[in-house]
Amino acid sequence: MLAKREILSKVQSESILLGILHLIGLLCLYKDVDKKRGRPYVYPTTVILRCCVVRIWMRIPSVNSLHYYLSIDDAYHRRICNACGLHTLPDRRTFDRRFKVLPLRQIIARMGQTFLLEGLVDITTASVDSSLLKARGHVWHKSSMKKKVLPISGIDTDARWGFSKSKGWVFGYKLHLSCSTGGLVVPLSADYTTANIADNQSYRPLVLPISGFVDNIAADPAYDDGELYRFSSDVCAARLVCPIKRYKNTPQERLELVEFYKSKEGQVIYSTRKISIEPLFECLKDAFGISVLPVRGFDISASHVLMCVFAYQIAVYYNCLFDSDNPRCVKRMLCN
């Protein structure tokens, strides 16, 4: 963990938001590389990232509103701009363009690795799962979708239908997470897809960033896939543990997986899901109000939701640095 003396000297304590913005500046979460083609960025990714944290933290509804908020000429807003690393204010179109292409999956994964490397979370077991998020506006029924007809305005045409046992059919998107288990539960990696994408298709990008860090990965039956078991073992050096059944003529390799899942150790590993990733989704939705998305379109909603995940990570890390009794109490920190 960053030295406490360095944190106390560089992180402003006038408000939680200012402290977190300074903290992001101290962490090496992403470094822009020189592009072979096109103009280089005038504003580094970490600067735009901090501006977007301000938007999520203050519940600013749009990029135009964020631009106006940062343009307010008073002492506090000037300190916000300085904490973001802004010497001049970007154009509205710059914010709009950069917000959609922020490498948030990589940044979230790097933040997750920071928790693992600094021993803030348990490295025995991680958990993976997904949760459906409702699209903003009216739904687009499949009959109209097949005909490519929009019966009413206000439909998010990028969203798709997905099904879960708890929520039934949902028109929208899907947030995929891996998280730690044990005493401190935080997101370690994240992905974002339309609601119709199967969970097992997002497994690899979720577990690759934590490969070599954790011994076990707990998952629900949606991840019961022979290729994922082999990928976990061969590439990630981890054991995938999820409900698995014995069938007629079951091969020996699968019988060993069945035997381990039904063992006492396997049941203990699988039980971590209910007290880790399932409550984490509800915590994120409640803190940032994303059960129903406030924006439309895949790129914009992906950036918005993944920014919420990162904001949660950095808030928990901030609390860990300052020895908070409950680092996961993020909702009460917002707008402070």
Query: Using one digit for the tens of pLDDT, what is the confidence trace for 176-222?
Result: 999 999 889 999 999 999 999 999 999 999 999 999 999 999 999 99
Q: What is the pLDDT of residues 36-71, one digit of tens each?
A: 566 778 889 999 999 999 999 999 989 899 999 999
pLDDT for res 36: 54
Phi, psi (degrees; rounded to nearest 5) at 285: -65, -40
Residue 325 burial by Cβ neighbours in a 10 Å radius (0-12, 13-18, 19+): exposed
pLDDT greater than 90 at residue 314: yes
Provide the CATH number for the domain formed by 108-280 in this structure: 3.30.420
Q: Among residues of the chain, what percentage have pLDDT more than 90?
A: 70
Q: What is the pLDDT of residues 111-166, one digit of tens each?
A: 999 999 999 999 899 999 999 999 999 999 999 999 889 988 889 999 999 998 88
d(CA 90, CA 87): 9
Q: What is the pLDDT of residues 233-263, one digit of tens each?
A: 999 999 999 998 888 788 888 888 999 999 9
d(CA 284, CA 334): 12
Q: What is the pLDDT of residues 11-24, one digit of tens each?
A: 656 788 998 998 99
CATH 3.30.420, the chain: domain bounds: 108-280
